[in-house]
Structure 1
Amino acid sequence: MIARRSNTPDDAGCCELLESRLAPLGFSFEYINAGGVTNLWATLGSGAPLMILAGHTDVVPTGPLAQWTSDPFTPTVRDGLLYGRGAADMKSGIAAMVCAVERVLAQGPVKGTLAFLITSDEEGAARYGTRHVVDVLKARGVVPDYAIVGEASSNETLGDRIVTGRRGSLGCNLRVIGKQGHVAYPHKADNPVHRLASAMAELVAIAWDTGNESFPPTSFQVSNFNGGTGANNVIPGEATAVFNFRYCTESTADSLKARVHAVLDRHCPQYEADWWLSGEPFLTRRGALIEAAEAACLSVAGRKPDFFTGGGTSDARFIAPWGAQTVEIGPISDSIHKINEHVRIDDLEPLSAIYQSILERLMR
């Protein structure tokens, strides 16, 4: 899979490769594609429990090729590491899942249903990938019990951390409208940069919540701030900013929006706020899946994993609200999205063994 140039949202034939491995095991395949995105739904068995093994084949851009020590789409083993774009995020996780399923089924059938949900739209807009598949399957009345997402979740050693929840992500493109004029005659203009700056200063200073035992406090971050006409003696007619909340379960998207608008209304007589919600926060509490995952990491990797709810978003944000107990378990995350992305060769078989152990604990 690493050798396939699956730059988001191009699957580049990865799902066909997966199908060739899963078909001999008796899986049935359906492609629930939309918007130029490849989505594979592969199932084996029937009834409950429904266990979903989820992942994405798309990868982020390579960055400057000259900075890579080897071609990012030529998988290369060097000093005990496997290099290549997608090695950690997350083609190794998918491959390890497939091998785990092969070994489990070699020992006999499982109870319930095994399913793979694979998309090529996780690193991009995430509009026509897992989100779309979940909507389609929900409409059919499909209800999952468990889901394992193969994202790179480990911190320093394999299995030392599993993701049991994620913060929500709420963003906004903000445009503040003023009145253009000469800097020498400010009374004849209305400077939107000043208005926006004062509003941003207040927003940055707000403690949105204090978090809870499972999540850190909600974070507000400005990622872009822009104003100007290109001339240094002109007050611009508008100024823009882009900001994002990574918010915990102590806040909601609606409550955050309301508090932001209250600040903007005080500082900016005219503005336009274009909001987008990438995902609500979710948390899987201790239950059968976490018990199985914890025991698997202990038996294979030799330690109990820490439970983690930080970091960015993943497609788990679409699966967990569907009703499934959901965790993310995968290789070490240190090199994801970086130049010379890699995984440790010696981690690949143990990772697959962790998945195998979970499946055997829940589906035998």
Structure 2
Amino acid sequence: MPVDPVALTADLVRCPSITPAEGGALVHLEKVLTEGGFHCTRVDRGGVANLFARWGRQGANRTFGFNGHTDVVPLGDEAAWTMPPFGGQIKDGYLFGRGATDMKSGVAAFAAAAIDFVAETPPDGAIILAITGDEEGDATDGTTALLDWMAANGERMSICLVGEPTCPDVMGEAMKIGRRGSMAAFFTVTGVQGHAAYPHRARNPMPAMARLMDALSSRALDEGTDHFDPSSLQVLTIDTGNPATNVIPAQTHATVNIRFNDAHDSAALTAWMQGEADKVAADFGVQVAMRVKVSGESFVTPPGALSDLVGKAVEAETGVKPALSTSGGTSDARFVKDHCPVVEFGLTGKTMHQVDERVKVDEIRQLKAIYARILRDYFG
């Protein structure tokens, strides 16, 4: 009997797998995949649950990979939900619940497609499912742990499809062939505290921070590249915490976020910011400390065989030719790209991370059909 991706999505939504809790989602998937003929291995690391599943011979001449996650973001204001957030209930053609869109439906669709495919037409090759419980969190012990384990155990995907929601409004309209890089920089400017009436006895860090933030945010990083929009630096906060009206503070803090395209890497951007910080420190006679956190580098999978494979299947099942996009935030494709060529395709993501997150039931079935066609075309 074919695996129902709607029922499987509902089962997964009922698992309260808020990062980093496993919540029963991977336990259930392991049972379903094992019954479907997949060899499953838990690859837990750092308190994070991960699942590796393979059908077929290790080291096969070609191995198709799927990647996804079962962890979800917190509920927000639970009282604002009109449907139980972990109920997996269907109403008016929609399946409701946290993770319904991002991305338990995607995992259910590719698991169902893979199980049915190997049962109906066992392929000459292998299929790997790499599913993590740490995509919405720090992502240090999720897909990276799976890839590390695969490298240590001789497992390899030839190509990979990440099942994140990629379509803004209409099913089939976009697939991701890359992602912008993402990094944050945290600045602390330290001066000398003093009385506002005697500024010559103090050294105010505020003008220095204002100058630094202006220097960083005023620069146009680039005008965009062949596959990416222009890079963007945004000042997120400037925090001093000074309640007094007559005290020059000793210290102030600021945070910026940069989403950058393939014209840059994090090392070059870090060096540029450090240079600007050093200039401000010298000009104002203050100390400027900077700490950087890199979430991922920019990457692009050049249009070609993989994007054509996915695009043709999407168009065949939806009647819509997907645009090749690099928009949005980060995904675990930023890790997979160091292992093998990777693209992303999934359903519409209009309600992801929102209260009353929901997905059209018909889209879940359509997504399974797309994934099944991709497998048939790849192995056929």
Per-residue CA deviations over 1:263-285 (Å, capped at 9, x if unaligned) read 11111241211111111111111
| Unmatched tracts of structure 1, length 5 or more | none
Q: Distance in 2 between matches of 1:248 and 1:48?
A: 34
**1:170 Cα offset (Å):** 1.3
Structure 1 residues 197-238: Cα deviation after superposition (integer angstroms, max 9, x where no partner)? 111011111011122110111110122210133322111111
Q: Does 1:157 align with 2:170?
A: yes
Match of 1:108 among 114, 121, 127: 121
| Cα shift at 1:106 | 2.6
Matched with 2:296 is 279
Aligned counterpart for 1:40 among listed residues 51, 63, 73: 51
Answer yes or no: is the 8 Å Cα contact 2:128–2:157 preserved in 1.
no
8 Å CA contact 1:228–1:234 kept in 2: the answer is no
Alignment-derived partner of residue 27 in structure 2: 16
Consecutive unaligned residues in structure 2, runs of 5 or more: 1-11
Distance in 2 between residues matched to 1:152 and 1:334, nearest whole Å: 9
Q: Equivalents in 2 of 1:228, 1:286: separation in Å?
A: 49
**Equivalent position of 2:315 in the other structure:** 298
Q: Which amino acid aligns with 1:12?
A: G
Corresponding residue number in structure 2 for 1:362? 378
Question: What displacement does 1:141 show?
Answer: 4.6
Cα shift at 1:108: 2.1
Q: CA deviation at 1:288?
A: 2.2
Q: Quick one: distance in 2 between partners of 1:308 and 1:211?
A: 13
1:22 partner SS: helix
SS of residue paired to 2:338: helix
Task: Give the counterpart of 1:54 among 67, 87, 90.
Answer: 67
**Distance in structure 2 (CA, Å) of the matches to 1:25 and 1:100:** 11
- Render the CA deviation track for 1:84-143: whole Å, top value 9, x for unaligned: 100000000000111111221232211222111111111011111111221232344544
* CA–CA distance in structure 2, aligned partners of residues 140 and 185 of structure 1: 67
Contact 1:175 1:240 in 2 (8 A): yes
| Aligned pairs for 1:117-132 within 5 A | 117-132=130-145
Q: Is this contact kept in 2: 1:4–1:12, CA < 8 A?
A: yes
**Cα distance in 1, alignment partners of residues 155 and 298 from structure 2:** 22
Letter in 2 for 1:286: P
The reply to whether residue 173 of structure 1 matches residue 186 of structure 2 is: yes
1:28 aligns with 2:44: no
Matched position secondary structure for 2:272: helix
**2: CA distance between counterparts of 1:347 and 1:170?**
33
Tell me what 2:8 maps to.
none
Look up the SS of the partner of 2:187 in the other structure.
strand
Does the CA contact (< 8 Å) of 1:282 and 1:321 recur in 2? no
Match of 2:287 in 1: 270
Map of 2:7 onto structure 1? none
Match of 1:5 among 10, 16, 37: 16
Once the two structures are TM-superposed, the CA of residue 155 in structure 1 deviates from its matched residue by: 1.6
SS in 2 for 1:321: coil
Cα pair 1:282 1:317 within 8 Å, conserved = yes
SS in 2 for 1:244: strand
Give 1:347's aligned residue: 363
Distance 1:97 1:28 in 2: 16
CA contact 1:209–1:251 (8 Å) conserved in 2? no
1:333 and 2:349 are equivalent in the alignment: yes
Q: Distance in 2 between matches of 1:10 and 1:222?
A: 32
Amino acid at match of 2:306: L
Partner of 1:73: 86
Q: Distance in 1 between matches of 2:149 and 2:207?
A: 47
* Partner residue in 2 for 1:197: 210
Match of 1:212 among 225, 234, 250: 225
Q: CA RMSD, aligned part only?
A: 1.2
Query: Which secondary structure state, in structure 2, belongs to the residue aligned with residue 132 of structure 1?
Result: helix
Q: TM-score, normalised by structure 2?
A: 0.93
Q: Distance in 2 between matches of 1:185 and 1:138?
A: 63
> TM-score, normalized by length of structure 1?
0.97
